[in-house]
Chains A and B, each alone.
Chain A
Amino acid sequence: MKLELQDIRLTFSNSRKGDFHLLQGVNLAVSEGEITAIVGGNGTGKTTLFNIISGFITDYQGKVLIDGKDIRPLPTYKRAQAGIGRLFQGTQLMGNLTLMENMKMASVDTMGEHPISPFIAWKSIRTHEYQKEQRAIDIINKLFGSDSKYLSMLDQKASALSYGEQRLIGIARLLMGESKILLLDEPTSGVNPVYIKTIADIIRKLVEEQHMTVLLIEHNMNFVKSLATNCAYLDNGKIMQYGQTEQVLNDEGVKNSYLGV
C-alpha cells in the first residue's frame, strides 16, 4: 500500500507564547516496497507525525492518504485494521501479559475477544488460539533460532524481559499482524549491535517478501544508511531534504544542522 502525507500542518495554541506551529506543511510519499527514514532533531515532530498517521492526533490539517484514500474519518483501531502497524518510541511490551499473550494480541484474529464468544464458540476459540500459538512460535523460531531462550519464556510475564529484549519481541510481534504499512519509531534504540543487524534483516525481509511499506524514525545513521532507500529530513516543520539516503545524509545543510559534522 502507498502512504502519502499531503500538506500536514499542526499548530499548538498556547496562551503564554502564542501559537506554536510544529508541522507547517509536510509532504511525503512512501510507495509499496520502499523503506523511508525520517531523520531530524529532537522535538522536530517526527513522533507527532506518526501520531497523526495512526490517528492519535486528529486536529491536524492536510491529508493522510492510503492508496489515494483520505483516512481522516478512521479512528486509530480502524487505521490499524486497514493495515497500519506501529512500533512506539520507547514503549515496552504489556508487562502483565505473558510473552505469548503479547504475541497473540498482535494477531488480526480477534476470535474470542467478545464476551459472548466463550459461551457460544468455545471450541473454535480453542482452534484459533492454537493457530495463533503456532504462528507465534514459528516467528520466534525464525527470528531468534530454535534454541532461543524466548521459546522457553513464552509463559513468563513480559515484564521479566529486559528493555532491549522487549523491544525485540515488540518487533517480532509486528509479524503476527497483517500490516501493510509499518511505522517504526526508533526501532534500534536500546538494542545491542548484534540485534540491530537482526532488526535490519527482519525489516528488509518483510519488505521483500510481503511488499510492506516502511516509514521509520531513527537517530542511528548507520542503521538508516544500511536499510533505508529514501530519507526525509524534517526541520522547522517541513521536509527540508528528501531523496536517496546517501544523498540526503551527505547534504551540507543536514550535516551542519543535524549530524553535527
Chain B
Amino acid sequence: MNYFLHIIVLLNIYIILILGANMTVGMAGLLTLCQAAFYGIGAYIGTMLLMQFDLPFIVIALIVSVITGVFSLLISYASLKLKNDYFTLATLGFQMIIFTILYNWVDVTKGPYGISGIPAIKILGLWSLKGVVPYAIFTAVVMCAMVGIFVALKKSPYGRLLRAIRADETAVKALGRNTSAAKTRAFFLSAAFSGIAGLLYASYVRFIDPTSFTLNESLFIICALFIGGVGNAKGSIAGALFVVILPELLRFIGLPDAVAAPLREIIYGLALVVIMFVRPQGMLGEEMSK
C-alpha cells in the first residue's frame, strides 16, 4: 500500500513538472531544456526555506515560485528577442550552469554530498505532513490546482494570444501585442511550476543532491511531454503516467534491475520515435498546426 502511495506522490510531482514544460513547449511554442534546473532551484530554495524558517506551505510555495520565475527571466531577456533556436540553446546553457553550481558550490549546497534531514511541509503553519499518506493526498491537491491553473490559462484570452503567436508572431506584433512579453510570462509560469514540483520533491524525499536535476532529467521531462502529448493537460498526465508507471511494471514482471534499467531507456526512446511517426501530437496531445 505504501509503495503504491509512493508511486502516486511521484506521479503527482511529475505531472506538475511536465505541465510546467508544457507551458513553454505547448503553449508558447518554445523548446526548453532546463526544466530540471528550475526543478532543482525550487528544491534547493525550498529546502533552505524549510530548514531556516517555520513557514506554512503556501508562503514557501509562493516564494519558491517567484524566485524560480525570476531565474527564468535571465534566459528570457537574453534570448527571447532572438529566434526560437537561440532560446533553446540558452536554456541548455542555463541547465549546465545551474547543475555545475549545485554540484560545486559546496558551502551552500553541500555539493555531491547532498542535503539531508529536510523538514516536512507544514500546512497552515501547524499541521506537519508525516508519512506517505498525507503526502499522497497533499501532492494530489497541489497537482489538481496546477492542472486547474493550466486549463484556465489555456482557455483564457492569454492562451489564445499564445496560440496566435505560434501561428504568426509577425502578424500578432502588427496587431499591437507585445509577443516577447507574452512568451516571457509563459516561461516564468513554466519555471514556477517546476519550482513547486522541486519543493514538493525535496520535502517528501527529505534528501536532495544535484543528480536529480541534470540535463538528462530535463530531456526526460521533455520526452515524457512529447510522448504524452503537447498542448493540453491530458497529454501531460498521460506522459507522467507512462514514465512513472513503466519502470514499476518492468519491476513487477520480475526483470532484474540490470536488465530493467536499460530496457526502460530503450522503451522510452522507442516510444518517442514511434509516437513521432504514428501520432506526432503525442498520445493525447493536440495537433500543433501552424
User: What is the interface of chain B, defined by CB distance below 8 A to chain A?
Assistant: 149, 152-153, 155-158, 160-161, 163-164, 166-168, 170-179, 182, 185-186, 189, 289-290
Nearest B residue to A83 via CB reads B176
- Give the interface centre of A54, A76, A105, A110 by most chain B CB atoms within 10 Å: A105
Segment at the interface with B among A41-49, A96-104, A201-209: A96-104
Q: Pick 21 A–B contacts, CB within 8 A, sort by A.
A: A54-B174, A56-B170, A77-B174, A77-B179, A81-B176, A88-B174, A91-B171, A94-B168, A94-B172, A97-B160, A101-B164, A106-B175, A108-B176, A110-B177, A112-B158, A113-B161, A113-B177, A114-B158, A115-B153, A115-B186, A118-B155
Q: Which residues of B contact A105 (CB under 8 A)?
A: 160-161, 164, 172, 175, 177
**Cα distance, A96 to B152, chains bound together (Å):** 19
Number of A-B contacts defined by CB within 8 Å: 95
B175 touches A177 (CB 8 A): yes
A44-85 with Cβ < 8 A to chain B: 54, 56, 75-78, 80-81, 85
Q: Which of these, A86, A111, A119, contacts B152 with CB under 8 Å?
A: A119
Whether B170 and A88, one on each chain, are in contact in the complex, defined by CB atoms closer than 8 angstroms, is: yes
**Chain B residue at minimal CB-CB distance from A106:** B175
Known: A77-B176, A96-B166. A117 touches B156 (CB 8 A): yes
Task: Indicate the size class of the contact surface on chain A.
Answer: 20 to 34
Residue A129 lies at the interface, judged by CB distance under 8 Å to chain B = yes
Contacts of B178 in A (CB 8 A): 75, 77
Whether A115 touches B189, Cβ cut-off 8 Å, given contacts A97-B164, A105-B160, is: yes
Quick one: given A56-B170, A77-B179, A115-B153, are A95 and B160 in contact (CB under 8 Å)?
no
Query: Is there a chain B Cβ closer than 8 Å to A200's Cβ?
Result: no
Q: Is the CB of B158 within 8 A of A115?
A: yes
CA distance A56 to B189 in the complex (A): 28
Query: CA–CA, A105 to B158, complex, Å?
Result: 11
List 17 other contacts, CB 8 Å, given A101-B163, A113-B160: A56-B173, A77-B173, A88-B171, A91-B168, A94-B168, A95-B167, A96-B290, A104-B157, A106-B175, A110-B176, A110-B177, A111-B157, A113-B182, A115-B185, A115-B189, A117-B157, A119-B152
Centre residue among B157, B168, B179, B289 by max chain A CB count within 10 A: B157
Residues of A within 8 A of B (CB): 54, 56, 75-78, 80-81, 85-86, 88, 91, 94-97, 101, 104-106, 108, 110-115, 117-119, 125, 129, 159, 177
A259 CB → nearest B CB, Å? 30
CB-based contact B152/A118 at 8 Å: yes
Q: With A97-B160, A118-B153 as given contacts, are A76 and B174 in contact (CB-CB < 8 Å)? A: yes
Distance to closest chain A CB from B167 (angstroms): 4
Q: Give the Cβ gap from A129 to chain B, nearest Cβ, in Å.
A: 7
In the assembled complex, the Cα of A129 lies from the Cα of B177 at a distance in Å of 17
Give complex CA distance A81, B172 in Å: 12
Q: A177–B178 Cα gap in the complex (Å)?
A: 16
> Looking across the interface, which residue of chain B has its beta carbon closest to that of A76?
B173
Select from chain B the residue with minimum beta-carbon distance to A174.
Answer: B175
A96 contacts B177, C-beta separation under 8 Å? no
Q: Tell me whether A96 and B174 are in contact (CB under 8 A).
A: no
